[in-house]
């Protein structure tokens, strides 16, 4: 059996730790001058499963697309409602931590948690995240939807690498077990 697959957060944030404005705009992020695809395709190859909170999924679907742009990956959306699965996505309303632990114990490539902050919070509180890859955009938003929520969850991290993609700084951390 290979190494246990990891749960990895791959996300962009403002310097002051917001992933969107309060009205869920990411315009500030798309204005930042990056480099190439900012490491996206390299990361994308390392995962075969993708997790979303329902608000993040809704945001993606509001961008004028008919289906998720994640072909050949297993996509799960966590929600406390009961929703019918679609061809390209399954809606999960069982306990997110229990479900994700089961996924982590299956064979496969790594698992990408796209966000947002609320879903991430459940995973952090329960020490499920193995790595954080965070791209910091050169902007202070002052207010917005926070990447990290307040909570009693100290996590010690070890820095695996720092890269920059033009104006973005990518911080790559591994959780110390």
Ligand X SMILES: NC(=O)c1ccc[n+]([C@@H]2O[C@H](COP(=O)([O-])OP(=O)(O)OC[C@H]3O[C@@H](n4cnc5c(N)ncnc54)[C@H](OP(=O)(O)O)[C@@H]3O)[C@@H](O)[C@H]2O)c1
Could you list the residues that contact ligand X (CB under 6 A)? Answer: 11-13, 19-20, 24, 26, 29, 53-56, 59, 78-81, 96, 114-119, 122, 145
- Beta strands (DSSP E) in 38-127 are 47-53, 74-78, 90-92, 110-115
For residues 2 and 10, which CB has a smaller minimum distance to ligand X in the complex?
A: 10
For residues 3 and 65, which CB has a smaller minimum distance to ligand X in the complex?
A: 65
For residues 82 and 107, which CB has a smaller minimum distance to ligand X in the complex?
A: 82
Closest separation in Å from C-beta 165 to ligand X: 14
Backbone angles phi, psi at 138, to 5 degrees: -80, 70
Closest separation in Å from C-beta 174 to ligand X: 20
Closest separation in Å from C-beta 113 to ligand X: 9
**DSSP classification of residue 3:** P
For residues 34 and 53, which CB has a smaller minimum distance to ligand X in the complex?
A: 53
Question: Which two three-digit tokens encode residue 168?
Answer: 């973005």
Nearest Cα to 30, choosing from 52, 7, 14, 15? 14
CA distance 46 to 58: 25
Closest separation in Å from C-beta 98 to ligand X: 10
Q: Could you tell me which residues are beta bridge partners of residue 97?
A: none
């Amino acid at each position: 059996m290979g190494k246990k697959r990891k749960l990895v957060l791959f996300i962009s944030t403002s310097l002051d730790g917001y992933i969107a404005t309060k009205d869920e705009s990411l315009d500030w992020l798309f204005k930042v001058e990056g480099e190439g695809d900012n490491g996206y395709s390299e990361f994308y190859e390392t995962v075969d499963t993708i997790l979303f909170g329902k608000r993040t999924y809704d945001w993606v679907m509001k961008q004028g697309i008919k289906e998720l742009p994640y072909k050949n990956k297993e996509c799960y959306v966590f929600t406390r409602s009961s929703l019918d699965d679609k061809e390209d996505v399954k809606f999960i309303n069982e306990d997110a931590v229990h479900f994700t632990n089961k996924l982590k114990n299956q064979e496969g490539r790594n698992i990408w948690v796209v966000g947002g902050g609320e879903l991430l919070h459940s995973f952090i509180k329960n020490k499920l995240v193995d790595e954080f890859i965070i791209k910091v955009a050169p902007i202070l938003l002052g207010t917005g939807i926070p990447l990290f929520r307040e909570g009693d969850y100290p996590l010690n991290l070890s820095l695996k690498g720092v890269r920059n993609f033009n104006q973005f700084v990518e911080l790559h951390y591994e959780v110390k077990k």
